[in-house]
Amino acid sequence: MSVLSGETVLMLSAAHPADDVRIVVKEGAALAAAGWRVIHLAHGAAAGTLQGVELRGHGGPGRGWRARLRHIPALARAAAAQHPAVIHAHEPDSWIAAHLAAARCGARVVLDVHEHYPSRLDARLSAGPAGALRPAARALLTALCRLIAWRADAVVVAKDGLDGPFGRCVAVRNYAEAASVAPRRHAAGPLRLLHLGALGAARGAFTMLDALACLPNARLVLIGRFTDGSEAAFDARAAALGVAARIEKQGWLPRAAALDQAARCDIALVLFQPGIENHRLALPHKLFDAMLCGLPVIVPAFAEEVSHIVTEAGCGIATDTADAMAVAQAATILSDPALRARMGASGRAAALTRFAWTGEAARLVALYRRLIPTSPA
């Protein structure tokens, strides 16, 4: 594809929020700092600027996958109207829209792979006759991903293990974005357990409750929203277990405020449940945010990259996160403030060095300098 003489990079999202950490705070900010004009075209975004990235809104696809498919042509038109040199697309429907837009405006196309998309079908085709369709559906979606990637100028992946369907990829991992947060000063006293980010059954919400019931003096701090409709069942379960009074729901908070509250806790929980491929391959922002705050973490042993990082950094305990007793036992081990302090300091040091975002940002900027001949020096 030919490249325009301009230097605008369009971050294109069908459904991600306007202030998404990976899209804006990490990738967009890195490209803006390197000298490009960066726009994030996102559903419902109010006009403004965040960390050097211009925010612009589109009408959004509505609810459900059918609505998202119908919205692709409108998304493509909105993207082409920005006249970008590169369209950097962040979901499968925005990948297709990016190719359609590029045919109109001559932009290059970068696909950003956040998840293992073929495995997303597992939950939808989980039982009964639909379960028999799962292998064929996975194969079809894998072939579609391969075709879309073949037509792109570059593919970046957010974590190792996602490159299978895409062939040539550049790893731009979700490593730690530095933040001006003072680390936790660990001391004796009742434990404050923390969960950051999206909540739901598959993310261990009910395991947290059962573990909390085994820790009579602990409190559970939740920073984020339920995203699977399970909040009412969660509240009912908390009441039945008699732990509701020991749960603090703080809702969604901007990152700076969330980190400030996180640094007042003692142990961070990353309790992805087994049986989901994206959980095995997970590399969540919440892990690195907890490390930056100086908190030891309890993570799934089955999540390969997460458990590797925690083990290498010496900053927590990998365990069976489907077993509430195992989670409670890990928290009991971490009730020693001296141990928490050592692990927290090790995690923070690792997040600021070995697992810092700066190296990933440099790799992304180098890719763009190859893609855009008129790149800023």
Secondary element (H or E) of residue 377? none
The CATH homologous superfamily to which domain 192-352 belongs is Glycogen Phosphorylase B; (3.40.50.2000)
What separation in angstroms does the CA of 190 have from each of 41, 222, 223, 334, 351?
45, 16, 19, 12, 26
Flag the least confident range among 275-279, 328-332, 337-341: 275-279
> Own/partner pairs for 154-158, CB < 8 Å, 24+ apart?
154/108, 154/109, 154/110, 154/111, 154/367, 154/371, 155/110, 155/111, 155/112, 155/113, 156/110, 156/111, 156/112, 156/113, 156/364, 156/367, 157/113, 158/22, 158/112, 158/113, 158/114, 158/115, 158/283
Q: If phi over 0 gives left and psi between -120 and 50 gives alpha, with beta otherwise, what is residue 56?
A: beta
Residue with tokens 């999202």: 13
Residue 310's Cβ-side half-sphere holds a number of Cα atoms within 13 Å equal to 27
Q: What is the pLDDT of residue 145?
A: 72
Residue 246 has pLDDT above 50, yes or no: yes
Task: Give start-end residues of each CATH 3.40.50.2000 domain in the chain.
Answer: 8-175+356-371, 192-352
Q: What is the pLDDT of residue 160?
A: 80
Segment 95-136, tens digit of pLDDT: 999 999 999 999 999 999 988 766 665 555 455 555 556 666
Residue 89 has pLDDT above 50, yes or no: yes
Give the percent of the chain with pLDDT over 70: 89
Give the count of beta carbons closer than 10 Å to the beta carbon of residue 373. 9
Q: Where are the alpha helices (DSSP H) in 195-297?
A: 205-213, 231-241, 255-262, 277-280, 285-292
Segment 3-60, tens digit of pLDDT: 333 589 999 999 899 999 899 999 999 999 999 999 999 988 888 999 999 999 998 7
Which amino acid appears at position 344 of this protein?
A: G
Q: What is the pLDDT of residue 129?
A: 57
The CATH code for residues 8-175+356-371 is 3.40.50.2000
For the chain, the average pLDDT equals 90
